Amino acid sequence: MLSVVLPAGWTVRAIAGDREGRAPAIYPAQVPGCVHTDLMAAGVIPDPYLDGNEAALEWMYPVDWRYSTTLDPADLELGAAAPGEQVDLVFDGIDTIATVWLSHGANRAELGRTRNMHRSYRFDVSRHLNGNPVALEVDLHSATAYAEVEQQRLGDLPGPFPAPYNFIRKMACSFGWDWGPDLRTAGLWKQVRLERWSVARLARVIPLITVDKVGNGRVELRIEVERLDSSAPLMLTAGLLGQQAVIEVEPSASNATLILDITNPPIWWPVGYGEQPLSDLSLTLSSDDQELDRWQRSVGFRNVELDTSRDEVGSAFTILINGRPIFVKGVNWIPDDHFLTRITAERVGRRLDQAVGANVNLIRVWGGGIFESDDFYQACDERGLLVWQDFLLACAAYPEESPFWEEIEREARENVVRLAPHPSLVLFNGGNENLWGEVDWNWRAALHGRSWGAKYAFELFPKIVAELDPTRPYSDNSPYSPRQSGQVVHPNNPDHGTHHQWEVWNRIDYNAYRDEIPRFCSEFGFQGPPAWRTLTDWVHSVDGGPLEATRDPKSDGNFLLHQKAEDGNGKLDRGLAPHLGVPEKFADWHWATQLNQARAVTYAIDHYRRWWPRTAGAIVWQLNDCWPVTSWAAIDFEGWPKPLWYAMRRAFAPRNIVFTTENGTMSVALINDADEPWHGELALSREQLDGSPLANVVAEASVKPRTVALISAPDDLSKPQDPTTEIVVARVDDMTRVHTFVEDIDLALETTPIDTEVVRTEDGYAVTTTARSLARDISLLVDQAAADATVDDAMITLPAGGSKTFRVRTSHADLEQALDKPPVLRTANDLRRA
């Protein structure tokens, strides 16, 4: 097999629908790439992420585009197909509705049509290659026009947004989301290759990897070959960890199974449980000692189970790896850039490092995005990040009619096979909020008896997983209640399976997180704006000036364009009011909303962890952003961690101390998610904000590995004389946690409770803060000091007398004056004067 990636030399032009002639010329194009990034590079359109540009690009929705290049056999070292050979033109991904043409002079031949971004396409082009250059054209028809025609033809189906994203197999959030721009890209978003082969090639390789109870590994390789010569003898040879297995493929057969039994292979564990050993698994296809094709992946040995059994509460949802139940500390993942082809392996690696850095052990690839790149899953394998993969249905009813049924089947099959080698992948899930939508969002009336697409979740996907990859568990949807015989349970019932908690954020205060004990909360979250630098670099006021200089930045049109949630700013303010109040000044509001986001989300995480093993997972909505926006993300589009990231890191740390009040009794939960027992002394003190002691108690703390211990506080600790001036402080080892009896707005907080010392260090500064009185959530918003600055911690609460040194790294030597005051150094206290 000779495989050549098509070289540069592509162009793009509008061929229809450009009503005002905005893209009149032929422009250089990148493959992989898209129209938006090409036209941006050519200076035809402005950066869609900047200011109000997104809205000004709607003219692109109805346009048809043509991508062209020349297949020159001389450049491609391919020549013409010899007798007995085949040359295939392979598109790994086309976005989306395309007709592919090859032309010799005036002779134009249609190779085929495509209508699914989530799969690849292969065309036999042997008869078109005669040694002379040939023109390749890919005509991309407007995704909007296609989807609207399908919507008309089949009748509308309910969904959360007006755009008809459910009538085309294209990334749902291409059409905008409540955190994403509506740009509707078109392009060749993955590699295009020519593959020249003879006799046979590997058409499909599925490695099914399991480990038995005593630790022996098995690799079952299910192989399918495509033959040109049905009688040729074919040999398959697999190798792994020094072992080999060989099998002959019967003449005219196209399937074979190879087994490699490996005694005591190194075992792959999720991060926090052990190492992530990976080994190279190789497979060659040969005939008469001549190698025809080769396949190679790095794989790992581990087992996965999903426990959804009935119990006294309802139905569990617990992931077990190598027999060990795991508390999932998860984040939901969306595409890391709306322009997918800019998401380099390096960018993915950085983002996943940030996930691991926040003590996350699972990433959920959400169904409104894509099946991610091979780089993504490989990076998860290497880091021990478990992956939960949604099939790509999100928040809407989907047609079951042709061609959607066939396309969804093809994309599911292709991706289940593609992802099979990755030890990180531990769950396939049938879609996001479809089951829930049908029951709760008035879909039934709109559906008039039609299905919402239930057959995908209940029949097609589980059948495909069972057939192609029975080593991985499947769940019907998120949220869902595992189906038990004779039982009808609401899909979002917290006692059963997975649960999404969106009442908080949309309607009620975050204190309500603790009113329920879900078995597994796979979505919950709270918004906050991006880092100040990201916001002000990307969003200027509609009159062109700095955002913060306008009279009312929160009502500015550009600021609102970068806030996609329904009544998002209203919800932010209503979320702030009972806790921190709503500051007047924009800079204070920005800090307060970031702070409230961090507090709200970690308030939920603390609660979910306290209830382990009844609650077996918490997946925060959301880790990342796809453009500069106010959203639920912990890390903004530019990669700046928001205060939530630091707070989440602490809340997800292997060990944590959580205050909880249940049935009027205050307790301290000691959470030990580590393999070693936790022995220590829990020191509790009730004290004044200025540190004056009121009551003390010391208790022995002994917490078994992977368990939670509850220690109830005696009355003289938990009952304040004056809740507005008193707190309870818990200390174990070097950990300190503070409980307040009232919200900040009612707490007699000092507005300037800390002394600060800034000292220059080799690579930046050491900023030491010492509290004279309770100082809440001390944070250095270092993006506001320098573009290259980082800080090692944030969201630190110090009781009076406490001290903390923050390490700031930067190349700038003139930040002394900036680091000890707002807008860089902030506390929750300073909002009391805002």
Q: Are the beta carbons of 816 and 765 closer than 8 angstroms?
A: yes
CA gap 563, 629 in Å, rounded: 6
Nearer to ligand BMA, 61 or 177 (CB): 177
Residue 325-364 contact track with ligand BMA, rule CB under 6 A, x = bound = ----------------------------------------
Minimum CB separation of residue 459 from ligand BMA in Å reads: 23
Q: How far is CA 834 from CA 389, 535, 741, in A?
A: 44, 21, 22
CA gap 338, 650 in Å, rounded: 30
* Closest-CA residue to 604 (of 591, 621, 590, 589): 621
Q: Which residues are registered as beta bridge partners of 670?
A: 657, 709
**Is 374 a residue that touches ligand BMA (CB under 6 A)?**
no
Nearer to ligand BMA, 395 or 670 (CB): 395
- Per-residue tokens: 171: 């990334």
Residue 389-418 contact track with ligand BMA, rule CB under 6 A, x = bound = ------x-----------------------
Coil/strand/helix, residue 772:
coil
Minimum CB separation of residue 593 from ligand BMA in Å reads: 16
Nearer to ligand BMA, 369 or 799 (CB): 369
* Closest-CA residue to 136 (of 202, 96, 174, 91): 91
Nearer to ligand BMA, 177 or 452 (CB): 177
Neighbours of 136 (CB within 10 A): 21
Minimum CB separation of residue 500 from ligand BMA in Å reads: 6
Nearer to ligand BMA, 85 or 178 (CB): 178
CA gap 353, 128 in Å, rounded: 46
Minimum CB separation of residue 521 from ligand BMA in Å reads: 12
Q: Are the beta carbons of 338 and 527 closer than 8 angstroms?
A: no
Positive or negative, the CA dihedral 602, 603, 608, 612 is positive
- Per-residue tokens: 642: 């928001």
Nearer to ligand BMA, 128 or 351 (CB): 351
Nearer to ligand BMA, 269 or 520 (CB): 520
CA gap 541, 557 in Å, rounded: 7
Q: Are the beta carbons of 188 and 32 closer than 8 angstroms?
A: yes
Residues of span 171-210 touching ligand BMA by CB under 6 A: 177-179
Nearer to ligand BMA, 121 or 505 (CB): 505
Q: 359 in the Ramachandran plot: left (φ > 0), alpha (ψ -120 to 50) or beta?
A: left
Residue 627-666 contact track with ligand BMA, rule CB under 6 A, x = bound = -----x----------------------------------
Residues of span 428-457 touching ligand BMA by CB under 6 A: 432-433
Nearer to ligand BMA, 188 or 504 (CB): 504
Minimum CB separation of residue 238 from ligand BMA in Å reads: 40
Q: How many CA atoms lie within 13 A of 600 on its CB side?
A: 35
Nearer to ligand BMA, 499 or 706 (CB): 499
Neighbours of 715 (CB within 10 A): 10
Task: Describe the crossing of helices 586-610 and 643-651 by its angle, rounded to 10 degrees.
Answer: 20
Nearer to ligand BMA, 608 or 632 (CB): 632
CA gap 477, 339 in Å, rounded: 27
Q: 167 in the Ramachandran plot: left (φ > 0), alpha (ψ -120 to 50) or beta?
A: alpha
Minimum CB separation of residue 527 from ligand BMA in Å reads: 9
Nearer to ligand BMA, 368 or 473 (CB): 368
Residues of span 483-502 touching ligand BMA by CB under 6 A: 502
Minimum CB separation of residue 362 from ligand BMA in Å reads: 16
Minimum CB separation of residue 332 from ligand BMA in Å reads: 7
C-alpha dihedral (279, 283, 288, 293), degrees to nearest 10: -120
* Closest-CA residue to 773 (of 791, 800, 754): 800
Sorted by sequence, the CB contacts under 8 Å of residue 654 that are 6+ apart come out as 272, 359, 672, 673, 674
Nearer to ligand BMA, 267 or 629 (CB): 629
CA gap 317, 296 in Å, rounded: 34
* Closest-CA residue to 491 (of 565, 564, 407, 432): 432
Residue 286-325 contact track with ligand BMA, rule CB under 6 A, x = bound = ----------------------------------------
Q: Are the beta carbons of 405 and 381 closer than 8 angstroms?
A: no
Minimum CB separation of residue 432 from ligand BMA in Å reads: 5
Nearer to ligand BMA, 458 or 502 (CB): 502
- What is the DSSP pairing of strand 180-182 with strand 318-321? unpaired
Minimum CB separation of residue 408 from ligand BMA in Å reads: 19
Tell me the site size for ligand BMA, rule CB under 6 A.
11
- Per-residue tokens: 323: 């027999």
**Is 523 a residue that touches ligand BMA (CB under 6 A)?**
yes
Minimum CB separation of residue 785 from ligand BMA in Å reads: 31
Helix H or strand E encompassing 391: none
Nearer to ligand BMA, 294 or 507 (CB): 507
Coil/strand/helix, residue 151:
helix
Strands, E assignment, 443-516: 474-475, 499-501
CA gap 114, 136 in Å, rounded: 15
Nearer to ligand BMA, 137 or 433 (CB): 433
Minimum CB separation of residue 351 from ligand BMA in Å reads: 18
Minimum CB separation of residue 629 from ligand BMA in Å reads: 11
Nearer to ligand BMA, 393 or 796 (CB): 393
- Choosing from 621, 627, 652, 659, the residue that interacts with ligand BMA (CB under 6 A) is 621
CA gap 436, 501 in Å, rounded: 12
CA gap 467, 463 in Å, rounded: 6
Minimum CB separation of residue 368 from ligand BMA in Å reads: 6
Minimum CB separation of residue 185 from ligand BMA in Å reads: 19
Minimum CB separation of residue 794 from ligand BMA in Å reads: 24
CA gap 476, 469 in Å, rounded: 16
Rg over CA atoms, the chain:
29
Minimum CB separation of residue 161 from ligand BMA in Å reads: 10
**Is 503 a residue that touches ligand BMA (CB under 6 A)?**
no
CA gap 656, 643 in Å, rounded: 18
Question: Which residues lie near ligand BMA (CB under 6 A)?
Answer: 177-179, 368, 395, 432-433, 502, 523, 621, 632
